[in-house]
């Protein structure tokens, strides 16, 4: 049957890379149009840096530079955790208002709807991370440029995985916002505390240390610390990358499945 084959030469086929780029640029447009949203999203990490780091420095007794070297990589992971962990709510809003449905009818690769969105969340996070590093610099934080670049790349991979899981949660909870936030908050704080991001786990009880070994966020935090210390070749970095890649693979698999079944 050759019904409309004459048309098909001008008709688009789903292409994951191009579709991801198109979803990414679409999602980024409101941020570019209104950059003020970016400025406000900087406040939270600055609060932690300004109000929490001094307490940490005071209680540890170690020099400020040493504490910052330990603390700043954790704050960067925290931005990603809070930033990409919440992105599902944007999708949930689009599902409720209707524009998500329109994108499902468009000839887009289903994966692009997730990856494009998650990458959009990463772009501003990279800007935030650079700013925080620069702010911590005069207080004795040492920057290893190679480690910084690899560290940001690791954050991006981790963020895509976490973002995809957040979108999956949105697709599963549909219009029940209370359920999305309930699950999200229930998960995010244990993940945060059991990663040793804010306070070292070494002084915690044995069971906490045991649980933290299965927390991928913990592996990512440790890898970031190693990278920012310039220790690029250590096993810790390798484990961090494996944890982030595994999270991204699981997140994308679950997310693409969820988006296919979202109707």
Partner 1 sequence: MTNDTMIDAEGLTKRFTVKKKTVEAVTDLSFTVSRGELVAFLGPNGAGKSTSLRMLTTLVPPSSGRARVVGHDIHREAAAVRARIGYVGQLTSGSFAQRVRDELISQGAFYGMPASAAKVRADELVESLDLTPFATRTVQQLSGGQKRRLDIALGLMHAPPLLFLDEPSTGLDPQSRSNLWQHILDLRQQHGTTVFLTTHYLEEADRYAERVMVMDRGRLIADDTAANLKAKLAGDVVTLGFASAEEAERAVGVVQGLTDREVRREGEASVTLAAPEGDALLPAAVRALDAVGLRVDRATAVPPTLDDVFLALTGRTLREAHETGGGDDEEQATENLTTENPQPTGAER
CB nearer to partner 1: give 8 or 17: 8
Q: For residues 162, 68, 37 and 164, what is the CA-based torsion angle, rounded to 10 degrees?
A: 0
Site map 38..77 versus partner 1, x via CB under 8 A: ----------------------------------------
Q: Smallest distance from the beta carbon of 83 to partner 1, in angstroms?
A: 16
CA 53 remoteness from chain centre: 22
Give the angle subtended at the CA of 24 by the CAs of 31 and 143, to the nearest 5°. Answer: 70
- With binding defined as CB under 8 A, does residue 7 bind partner 1? yes
Residue 246: count of CB within 10 angstroms of its CB: 13
CB nearer to partner 1: give 31 or 127: 31
List the one residue from 107, 146, 190, 230 that touches partner 1 (CB under 8 A).
Answer: 107
Cα distance between residue 241 and residue 247, in whole Å: 10
Q: How many residues bind partner 1 (CB under 8 A)?
A: 37
List the one residue from 47, 54, 66, 101 that touches partner 1 (CB under 8 A).
Answer: 101
CB nearer to partner 1: give 63 or 260: 260
User: Closest by alpha carbon to 224, among 117, 147, 158?
Assistant: 147
- With binding defined as CB under 8 A, does residue 257 bind partner 1? no
Q: For residues 62, 63, 65 and 69, what is the CA-based torsion angle, rounded to 10 degrees?
A: 0
Q: Smallest distance from the beta carbon of 128 to partner 1, in angstroms?
A: 20
The interaxial angle of helices 16-33 and 110-136, nearest 10 deg, is 50
| DSSP conformation class of 9 | T
Q: Smallest distance from the beta carbon of 242 to partner 1, in angstroms?
A: 34
CA 49 remoteness from chain centre: 19
Q: Smallest distance from the beta carbon of 180 to partner 1, in angstroms?
A: 13
For partner 1, the binding residues in 162-221 under the rule CB under 8 A are: 174-176
Query: Residues interacting with partner 1, by CB under 8 A?
Result: 1, 3-5, 7-8, 11-14, 19, 22, 25-26, 29-30, 33, 93-108, 174-176, 263
């Amino acid at each position: 049957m050759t019904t409309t084959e004459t048309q098909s030469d001008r008709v688009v086929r789903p292409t994951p890379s191009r579709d991801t780029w198109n979803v990414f640029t679409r999602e980024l447009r409101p941020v570019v149009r209104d950059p003020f949203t970016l400025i406000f999203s900087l406040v939270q990490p600055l609060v932690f840096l300004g109000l929490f780091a001094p307490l940490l420095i005071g209680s540890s007794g170690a020099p400020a530079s040493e504490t910052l070297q330990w603390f700043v990589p954790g704050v960067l992971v925290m931005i990603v955790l809070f930033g990409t962990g919440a992105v599902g709510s944007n999708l949930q809003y689009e599902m409720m208002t209707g524009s998500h449905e329109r994108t499902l009818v468009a000839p887009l690769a289903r994966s692009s709807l997730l990856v494009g969105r998650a990458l959009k969340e990463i772009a501003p996070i990279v800007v935030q991370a650079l700013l925080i590093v620069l702010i911590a610099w005069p207080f004795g934080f040492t920057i290893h440029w190679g480690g910084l670049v690899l560290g940001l790349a690791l954050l991006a991979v981790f963020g895509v995985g976490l973002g995809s899981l957040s979108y999956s949660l949105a697709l599963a909870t549909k219009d029940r916002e209370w359920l999305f936030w309930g699950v999200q908050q229930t998960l995010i704080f244990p993940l945060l505390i059991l990663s040793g991001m804010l306070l070292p786990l070494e002084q915690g009880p044995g069971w906490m240390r045991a649980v933290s070994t299965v927390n991928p966020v913990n592996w990512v935090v440790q890898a970031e610390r190693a990278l920012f210390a310039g220790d690029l070749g250590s096993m810790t970095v390798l484990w961090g990358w494996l944890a982030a890649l595994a999270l991204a693979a699981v997140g994308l698999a679950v997310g693409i499945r969820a988006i296919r079944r979202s109707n």
